[in-house]
Structure 1
């Protein structure tokens, strides 16, 4: 799916599509109760890639990948609309992001997650590791 689209039924995954703030904010507001409207263009301008999932013309999933300019990339903002959850879309998004990150030259893909998401990210191919985190 390098820089293209992949179809699975009615859902289309697209790499680095143009996305309006309105559609991203609509998805994030439905998915994250504490979401505040955000200008996404500055965030995506610093991203290595992102993948969007559309069904019937509506944004139903999103994942962002940022890179360090070298071998490491990081998954951020994995989001699936509540109406689309538990159908495999999140796993498809993250696996597609991993494939694309590899195509962009990354050799390591990192993700931070809360304990209740360990099984989900395990299904995506991640294994738990020790890591450090500092809140600033």
Structure 2
């Protein structure tokens, strides 16, 4: 497995990974490359024999706060440490950019992954559905 930072994104390939990881429509191709170039501080892909099997992006406020988004690992490659490696690489990207905080939101079933494996701590947060 190889990690690549700010790799050239193929919208269909990344949309397919997200569909497999989150149970979405594989035919729904999103404009990932344009969004990432416009809004992301960085992104990291995990590749197995040239195939994208994991992804995470880091957005930021232009200052001390970075936000981890879209962490995804192909279901056939989960539980091999790929997600943890992606998050660690994303955290290093944020640190290198001068960020002081890395935030992440997650569903309860991912608490073990983010808190125990990746080293995040639990904090209160708020959310408004728009």
Instruction: Tell me the TM-score normalized by structure 2.
Output: 0.93
**Cα displacement (A) at 1:40:** 0.8
CA distance in 2, matches of 1:77, 1:58: 18
Which residue pairs with 1:42 in the alignment? 34
Which residue pairs with 1:132 in the alignment? 126
Greater helix content: 2
CA distance in 2, matches of 1:132, 1:92: 28
- Whether the 8 Å CA contact 2:18–2:24 is kept in 1: the answer is no
Q: Moved runs in structure 1, 4+ residues, more than 3 A?
A: none
CA distance in 2, matches of 1:68, 1:38: 23
Structure 1: runs of 5 or more not aligned: 1-10
Which residue pairs with 2:59 in the alignment? 66
Structure 2: runs of 5 or more not aligned: none
CA distance in 2, matches of 1:116, 1:20: 29
